[in-house]
Structure 1
Amino acid sequence: MGSAAEWAPCEDDDILVYGWIVETKGGGCSADRAASDLGLQPDQVAAALERLAGLGLIRTVQPGYGEFMAVDPDAVAVTLTAPLRASIRRQTEDLDRIHATIDRLRDRFLSRRPGIQDSTVEVVPTLEEVRAALNRASDKCQEEVVSSQPGGNGRIPEAMEEALGRDHALLSRGVRMRTLYHHTARFNGPSQAYVAAATALGAEYRTSYELFGRLIIYDRSLAFLPERTGSWGAVAIREPTIVGYLYDIFEQTWVRAAPFSDAAQDGLERVAKEIHQTIVELLAAGLKDESIARRLGMSLRTARRHIADIMDSLGAESRFQAGVLAAKAQLVNQPPLSDVESG
């Protein structure tokens, strides 16, 4: 009889032949007769009989006479799955040992400097360590996690899958989850799918044309900011005043943001027009291409394409002239931004 390690799902021919043996009670079974009754070729039936016999699903009644008897699949299942169950048990034991070792190593790692858990600022240098820190923070989170994810569509699939797993674990514990994306995320298929999946679990998403940067806050007590060098590292902040200040910035943006919906729902023309209007206002404020792209969560190439279209529609030969013409045409709805960036 085949073992679990050799197991392969039965083919359609196997199911047909097995059923035929059950119905005919195996009497006078021959490949030719089965082939005729089932509309199969004799070699197909012979191969199916061999596979069924190898799995122990049929047995010979009288050797040499081509008579078979069907064996109860549930009885066979016990034998087939026994090696697999034993393998799973061994792997589970190995997994438990690994987790126990990791727990001991974590205690050493977190105590590598006295009072690290109480330190107000901690640099987490690598992506792997950031993900580990986020997983630990998620496991301990009890009430709420809020985050700002500029762009909303730049994470790799593996990271998004891991994040969705964290989200599910949090939401299943009744933790409230709110996330801000740029409006441009509404044009992005992976972002739409991610938001749809997480929203179904109870998460809340809103979008804004401009965001203040990447941020994650757990229980209003632990905040993560990106490390300023542009690496995949992060900075963990526990100082209550700073965390509270960052939370207030999130809250102010959340109140003004719009519920997440894909661009097709909102109307592509309207969404595009609003993005166009925002770029006009940023041009009038004197921002450079890189700053506009960053603030709107789009690629530099996309931002420059929008800017070129705007300058062409205004008949402007320079960015400065575009801002002046936009102001004269009353295309700018808001006064110049107070935090104008120069780069």
Structure 2
Amino acid sequence: MDIGEETGQAVDQVDLDAYQWILTHRRIEPAALAKGLGVSEQRAAEAVTRLTALCLVHADASDPGVGHAVAPEAAMTALAAPGEARIRREQERIARGRALMSAFVPHYHAARHERGTGIEVIPTLAEVRAALNEAAARCRSEVMASQPGGGSRVPEAMQEALARDEALLSRGITMRTLYHHTARFNGPSQAYVEAASRLGGQYRTSHELFGRIIVFDRELAFVPASDGSWGAVAIRQEWLVAYLCEIFEQTWARARPFASAAAEGLEQVAQEIDHTIVELLAAGLKDETIARRLGMSLRTARRHIADIMAQLGADSRFQAGVAAAKAGLVPD
């Protein structure tokens, strides 16, 4: 009998009395049991049947009327045996299935990596530069980059980038790069753009950029780590890379060809930067955020902000916003 067949049933008092009587008298014939318990012979027979099913009572093989009661612990072991055997068989089946599936796991993850769907954290600057150089060497057709920060780029990094870009452009790779407008005031940035432009590189600037990014062949993107380190994240996940490319294209379409501030007119470029600062001030952004959005140092941003507030005759940001709205510099 399976223990599950009796689960949830209450113990009949006649069964308890019958079990006790059989323990003492070692007989299981219904007539004797009925007489000993003072119950009907039918109830006695039913009790014997139930006790036998529960493995609590066993009949003698040579004399069906003779029997004995066993310890409940032994009966429980006998009742649990079929269920435990099934559990063991099921566990063995699951273990075989896991072992079989494990052989396929490496192939699945290898295929995902080959399709460019992974995300990899690159923790150090040296590893980032090595990864960029490797990606550039493997590049087949196109590079897109957004380089915020104006004139804050490290000269050594720019020299390394120029060597990498020259190698790419010499192979006919299309290169497009976005800078902040403030890069127009930076001598090293101007020299870098001038040298790469002669080889076919395309450069544009914008008041605001969405962040630093380099994308190779629309398949592999590098973005900065968000922990403030010099690390980066390499992205091969195709939908995410496509999304980043779309953001780049939208910004590129609105950006203007790179030119030195002197070539376009210092006053015009400065006015455009100041107008953007007014809009950001009116939006309630902090100095640090404005500096980051425009790719300039915090000190430079605060100097611009102070000059703008003085021109507007404002003592506070609120007054500056009101004055700018009245002057038609920002929407009401």
CA distance in structure 2 between the partners assigned to 1:285 and 1:313 by the alignment: 19
Counterpart among 158, 161, 175 of residue 160 in structure 1? 158
Give secondary structure in 2 for the equivalent of 1:229: coil
% of aligned pairs identical? 71
Deviations 1:61-91 (A, max 9, x none): xxxxxxxxxxxxxxxxxxxxxxxxxxxxxxx
CA distance in structure 1 between the partners assigned to 2:299 and 2:318 by the alignment: 20
Give secondary structure in 2 for the equivalent of 1:177: strand
**1:119-130 equivalence runs, <5 A:** 120-130=118-128
Measure how far apart 1:280 and its partner are: 0.6
Counterpart among 313, 316, 327 of residue 315 in structure 1? 313
Corresponding residue for 2:67? none
CA distance in structure 1 between the partners assigned to 2:268 and 2:219 by the alignment: 39
Corresponding residue for 1:331? 329
Aligned residue-pair number: 222
Counterpart among 217, 223, 226 of residue 224 in structure 2? 226
**1:1-343 equivalence runs, <5 A:** 115=110, 118=116, 120-332=118-330
Measure how far apart 1:153 and its partner are: 2.5
Deviations 1:132-156 (A, max 9, x none): 0000000000010000000243222
CA distance in structure 1 between the partners assigned to 2:325 and 2:227 by the alignment: 36
Measure how far apart 1:251 and its partner are: 0.3
Q: Which amino acid aligns with 2:285?
A: L
Give the alignment's TM-score, normalised by structure 2: 0.65
Measure how far apart 1:157 and its partner are: 2.1
Give secondary structure in 2 for the equivalent of 1:132: helix
CA distance in structure 2 between the partners assigned to 1:154 and 1:315 by the alignment: 31
CA distance in structure 1 between the partners assigned to 2:200 and 2:325 by the alignment: 43
CA distance in structure 2 between the partners assigned to 1:152 and 1:296 by the alignment: 8
Corresponding residue for 2:76? none
CA distance in structure 2 between the partners assigned to 1:314 and 1:303 by the alignment: 17
Measure how far apart 1:262 and its partner are: 0.1
Alignment check: 8 A CA contact 2:150 2:296 kept: no
Give secondary structure in 1 for the equivalent of 2:243: helix
Deviations 1:190-222 (A, max 9, x none): 000000011011100000000000010000000
Alignment check: 8 A CA contact 2:185 2:260 kept: yes
CA distance in structure 1 between the partners assigned to 2:229 and 2:131 by the alignment: 16
Measure how far apart 1:229 and its partner are: 1.0
Corresponding residue for 1:103? none
Larger Rg: 2
CA distance in structure 1 between the partners assigned to 2:217 and 2:262 by the alignment: 35
The CA RMSD measured in Å over matched residues stands at: 1.6
Give secondary structure in 2 for the equivalent of 1:151: coil
Alignment check: 8 A CA contact 2:152 2:296 kept: no
CA distance in structure 2 between the partners assigned to 1:271 and 1:161 by the alignment: 26
Measure how far apart 1:254 and its partner are: 0.4
- Structure 1: runs of 5+ lacking an equivalent: 1-113, 336-343
Q: Which amino acid aligns with 2:312?
A: L
Give the alignment's TM-score, normalised by structure 1: 0.63
Give secondary structure in 1 for the equivalent of 2:165: helix
Alignment check: 8 A CA contact 2:117 2:238 kept: no
Q: Which amino acid aligns with 1:173?
A: R
Measure how far apart 1:186 and its partner are: 0.2
Measure how far apart 1:328 and its partner are: 1.7
CA distance in structure 1 between the partners assigned to 2:318 and 2:138 by the alignment: 51
Q: Which amino acid aligns with 1:330?
A: G
Measure how far apart 1:178 and its partner are: 0.2
Measure how far apart 1:312 and its partner are: 1.0
Give secondary structure in 1 for the equivalent of 2:215: strand
Alignment check: 8 A CA contact 2:151 2:296 kept: no
CA distance in structure 1 between the partners assigned to 2:290 and 2:146 by the alignment: 18
Measure how far apart 1:119 and its partner are: 5.3
